[in-house]
Amino acid sequence: MTWHPHITVATIVEVDGRFLMVEESIGGRLVLNQPAGHLEPNETLRQAAIRETLEETGWDITLTGVIGVYLYTAPSNGVTYQRICFAATPVRHHPQRALDTGIVGAPWVTREELVAQPERWRSELILRCIDDYLAGPSYDLDVIRD
């Protein structure tokens, strides 16, 4: 068997202490995650983050920095993910836009609301990324070389 890590992107979008999240149905249960997804062929990491956020939340964003690069092996399936997490600001919402399959909504939640419901986290990375964002600083987008 050949081992292949999955390259993913995620965005932290925060307004007045509330974070844009994705509520999605995974394995019959509703979980919360940042707007996130896999890098697609012929796409840059920045393009992937912007695309995934729009597809999953209906929000156009502007990337403002890089929070960090995370290596995570999911205990549920043993798959290893490399996540590049970006900070972003919301620009424009498209409320009539259909969201990706399986996505129920895109709520804005506080850190405290997330902490109160760890059973709903898609993975532990969601709180780690938010805490790293809050602790600062973020890195300049130029650290990503396309």
Residue 102's domain comprises 6-143
- CB burial of residue 120 (10 Å; 0-12, 13-18, 19+): middle
Residue 78 lies in a domain: yes
Q: According to the model, what pLDDT value does residue 51 have?
A: 98
Residue 101 lies in a domain: yes
Q: What is the pLDDT of residues 51-75, one digit of tens each?
A: 999 999 999 999 999 999 999 888 8
Residue 110 lies in a domain: yes
Label residues 1-28 b or e (16+ Cβ within 10 Å = b): eeeeeeebbbbbbbeeeebbbbbbeeee
Name the domain count of the chain: 1
Residue 1 has pLDDT above 70, yes or no: no
Q: What is the pLDDT of residues 14-49, one digit of tens each?
A: 999 999 999 999 888 999 999 999 999 999 999 999
Residue 117 lies in a domain: yes
Q: Mean pLDDT over all residues of the chain?
A: 94
Residue 1 lies in a domain: no
pTM: 0.93
Contact partners, residue 94, CB within 8 Å, separation at least 6: 54, 58, 59, 60
Residue 30 lies in a domain: yes
Residue 96 lies in a domain: yes
CATH of the domain at 126: 3.90.79.10
